[in-house]
Structures are given as structure tokens and as C-alpha cells.
Amino acid sequence: MTETEDTGKQEERKLTPRTIVTIAAAIVIISIGVYVFYDLNGHSLDPTDREAIIILTDSMDGDNTEYAIHSFPMHTMVMVKHLSEEEKKELKVGDVISFHYKDKHKDILIHHRIIAVHFDDGYVNTQGDNRDVKELVFLEDINGEVVGTNHWLGEVAYFVKTNVFFILAAFCVLMILWILKDEFPRKKTPKEV
């Protein structure tokens, strides 16, 4: 190997400022993503038996409480931990649960706070923080426990979900413009002439 070839390989290995900034930005973005997941997931990095759900009503948009899971507004993303039958019996007053409400035509998931437990009789009473109506929920209808919430992430996810056509259309237009940018010559400024 000649000295010139060796020098050329050394120059290729150098990190440019652009590469360093790209790596730093990637580390920051990944770190933020991990933190948001950790916070939303009830301060756990364990993704098993979890489900992220966007809340579509304001039934839990009440005054803040002293409980671990505070009231949350519409379009909040909640992380629900699915519970075994034994874990359901460990629920307590103040926990927010996800449960199945069977309407005449469909099965709806509702997320309300437990206000009373009656494990011997096989049910709990729940109520939304912004509702006056109390529900009787049988243990077999409980889907899981809400372990984390994130309103900002829910708003972004809801916006994307409800505007997916417009987002895709804007992305396609931008891609077409980027592809065609070389087809139209740029006017030279007086300094470039």
C-alpha cells in the first residue's frame, strides 16, 4: 500500500461536522422517543401486554386528583396494561381502568376511575372524572389499567389519524417538487454571474 492510498483512507475515516450533527440529532431523537414511551408506559420500558389508545371523549377531563393517574382531556393517548384475573383483584379506588361496555350494536372501550371495589361480588364501580353517572363493571369486562397518559402525543396521533389523506397528499406534492427541482434552472443572481 502506498503512502497516498493510506492517507486517502485516513481522510475517509474522519468525522465531518455534518456527520457529527446527524449522529447527535439521531441520539437526541431516539432518547426523546424512549423517554416518551417510558413515561407513557407507566415508567416502564416493558412493552408486553400493553395497548396505546386515544381517548375520544371528555369524560375524564375533570379536576386534577391526588391519584397517580390524573384527569385527562379528550385526545389524550393512554397506555393500558392488560391485567390477569389475579391482577384485576389488586385494583384499588382511584385507579383508572379500561373496560368493555356492550351497547346494543357494538362493544365500546371506556376509561373511567374506580370509585368502589366489590371483589367478593365480582365487580367494581367506576365514574368518569367529568361525569355524574356511576357504572357497575364486572371483573370479566375489565380490559386493563391505565398506567400512563400523554396529551401532546395523543393530539399529534389524532391529527395524523383524522388528516391522513391531506398529509399523504402534501407529502406527494413535496416529493414531486423535489424530483422536478433539477428540471427548472435557477436564475443566477448578479453575484453569481
CATH of the domain at 144: 2.30.30.140
Residue 27 in any domain: the answer is yes
145 in the same domain as 100:
yes
Number of domains composing the chain: 2
Cα-Cα-Cα-Cα torsion 185, 189, 191, 192, nearest 10 degrees, comes to 0
Residue 59 in any domain: the answer is yes
135 in the same domain as 64:
yes
Q: What is the 3-state secondary structure of 24-61?
A: HHHHHHHHHHHHHHHHHCCCCCCCCCEEEEECCCCCCC
Residues in the chain: 193
27 in the same domain as 76:
no
Nearest residue to 138 (alpha-carbon basis) of 94, 96, 85: 85
Residue 84 C-alpha cell reads as: 390477569
20 in the same domain as 77:
no
Residue 57 in any domain: the answer is yes
30 in the same domain as 119:
no
How much is the pTM? 0.72
Question: What is the average pLDDT score of the chain?
Answer: 87
Cell 422536478: give the residue.
180
**Host domain of residue 34:** 1-40
Q: Tell me: the pLDDT tens digits for 124-153?
A: 999 999 999 999 999 999 999 999 999 999
148 in the same domain as 65:
yes
Q: Tell me: the pLDDT tens digits for 147-173?
A: 999 999 999 989 988 888 888 899 999
61 in the same domain as 31:
no
Task: Give dist(CA 189, CA 177) in Å, integer.
Answer: 22
Task: Give dist(CA 73, CA 58) in Å, integer.
Answer: 6
pLDDT along the chain (193 residues), means of 10: 55 77 90 83 78 93 88 94 94 96 86 96 96 94 94 91 88 88 70 62
The neighbour count for residue 91, using CB atoms within 10 Å, is 18
76 in the same domain as 31:
no
34 in the same domain as 88:
no
